[in-house]
Structure 1
């Protein structure tokens, strides 16, 4: 059965009133969101906490965590709430080349090549700037975890090199300092829109295992990239269907209510469509958050 034929297990709704709103691509096409210090969380006392002196003394993230846990305790059968931290990888060599030649030239020629001169963008790795962006992201996470008492999230990652490295630079040292096992789950369906563009053709399973031995690769992950097509680009509808499958897997199997996804520009906007949120462009290396309600189909 193809991804497009798989029945949806959940319907999703992005809940409002918890995180700052940002201009959508329809409202401001050139706007690109940068990571907010608190991931945009709106400080507040929630209804069940209004009369509690204890809750009023907690950090905004502690109060929000308690609220999410209460939502899940009170949820009806078939309902589930999770917080998704959606992060885009840092700058890659493909991003540099597209900026240099312009999007029309990139889309019509350069994206089909493995690289040019000393620059290689097939399954692109991070540039020095991209690594710096990931390191900056790590500082935000460290403050939120250590000072604001945000709960440690379950970690998921696209299998493309730029995301594997971004996750490593964002979380591995922090996990060690928190006594947590650093073991991101690599999911095929979290990868960028597929086909034609060599930057979106993944490396082998063996390469991933050798370079990121602590990562947990999901069952069924093939040795070679069997999804990438040299002569056809994945459609928007196909990408939405594939992302819906990824979300269904995570909501079905992940016990944590707090989930970090290290993914891509188009992948993040496609995910927003799946959860019913307007598309927001993320800057390279940036992260935003959503409270999502899932209802079993």
Structure 2
């Protein structure tokens, strides 16, 4: 099985780069009409018009984490040479990094402008996420407005609890950098499962939304994949993401549901790999809290 992206549904990097003042963090604007001549005014019409066997991956990068802040502070060369190998600098810690205050504001913006604005009440059918803390915090702070959709009369569904499927395959590039080492599952589960977030967990308690963490196999309590002296190559992460996306695809097919909109919360390295694996046009720099929408289909391998 080979998955590939289908162009012509959403604005691309080159188009957005021509718009003065465009931040280029959101690649989710619907192109109307598409290459197939079908006019789509909104997300619901787009989903309704998808050919059979096509789905939309709504892929979000986490907001600024403390490791990103240190990269900005010392520069990328010094980060790669020295700081990335440490857990912190004596003041800040970035092992399995939390979001910064700016990171929280960034993903709240994404939630307001994209998930609660542009999607206009359309909610993904299923949610997948990296196991690293910055992604779990990103998901909560960007999707917390979903909990208010019922009050606004947009949906009859009660979204006070969302099941978040945690996939090890969605982790950032593995190895060397301590920010990308996963803390034990039991600790993350205790911090986030069915808990209303608060400042203790570096996230705001601004809704009643709770996350039910569903760790999909295969997991180990401790992180056995991360190595201090070896980091994944692009080829290695592409093989990992190809298997991960196929796992998501097969899981959705096996569920018997007609899920068309799939949410994925992850990392820049993962998103760049997804774009390569799906043969999608490149996005040279994917900003923290950025979002890209991809129409995906299954091709038979020859």
Asked whether the two chains share a fold, i.e. TM above 0.5, the reply is yes
Among residues 267, 291, 297, which one is paired with 2:295 in the alignment? Answer: 291
Query: Could you give the per-residue CA deviations for residues 104-145 of structure 1, whole angstroms, max 9, x where no partner exists?
Result: 111111100001021101111100000001111111211234
1:117 aligns with 2:99: no
- The answer on whether the counterparts of 1:155 and 1:185 sit within 8 Å (CA) in structure 2 is yes
What SS is found at the alignment partner of 2:246? helix
Q: TM-score, normalised by structure 2?
A: 0.81
Q: Which runs of 5+ in 2 are unaligned?
A: 16-21, 151-157, 194-211
Structure 1 residue 221: Cα displacement: 1.6
CA distance in 1, matches of 2:292, 2:166: 20
CA distance in 2, matches of 1:259, 1:272: 16
1:21 aligns with 2:12: yes
What SS is found at the alignment partner of 1:246? helix
Distance of aligned partners of 1:44 and 1:225 in 2 relative to their CA distance in 1, 3 Å threshold: same
1:63 aligns with 2:36: no
CA distance in 2, matches of 1:296, 1:243: 18
Q: Which residue of 2 aligns with 1:90?
A: 63
Q: Which residue of 2 aligns with 1:43?
A: 32
Among residues 3, 17, 27, which one is paired with 1:12 in the alignment? Answer: 3
- The answer on whether the counterparts of 2:47 and 2:260 sit within 8 Å (CA) in structure 1 is no
What SS is found at the alignment partner of 2:54? strand
Distance of aligned partners of 1:265 and 1:49 in 2 relative to their CA distance in 1, 3 Å threshold: closer
Distance of aligned partners of 1:186 and 1:22 in 2 relative to their CA distance in 1, 3 Å threshold: same
Q: Which runs of 5+ in 1 are unaligned?
A: 1-9, 25-30, 51-57, 73-79
Q: TM-score, normalised by structure 1?
A: 0.82
CA distance in 2, matches of 1:252, 1:176: 31
CA distance in 1, matches of 2:36, 2:229: 54
What is the root-mean-square deviation in Å for CA atoms of aligned residues? 2.2
- The answer on whether the counterparts of 1:65 and 1:151 sit within 8 Å (CA) in structure 2 is no
Q: Which residue of 2 aligns with 1:222?
A: 220
Structure 1 residue 21: Cα displacement: 1.4
- The answer on whether the counterparts of 2:8 and 2:35 sit within 8 Å (CA) in structure 1 is no
Q: Report the count of equivalent residues.
A: 262
Among residues 276, 279, 282, which one is paired with 1:276 in the alignment? Answer: 279
1:167 aligns with 2:139: yes
- The answer on whether the counterparts of 1:46 and 1:67 sit within 8 Å (CA) in structure 2 is no
CA distance in 1, matches of 2:123, 2:73: 40
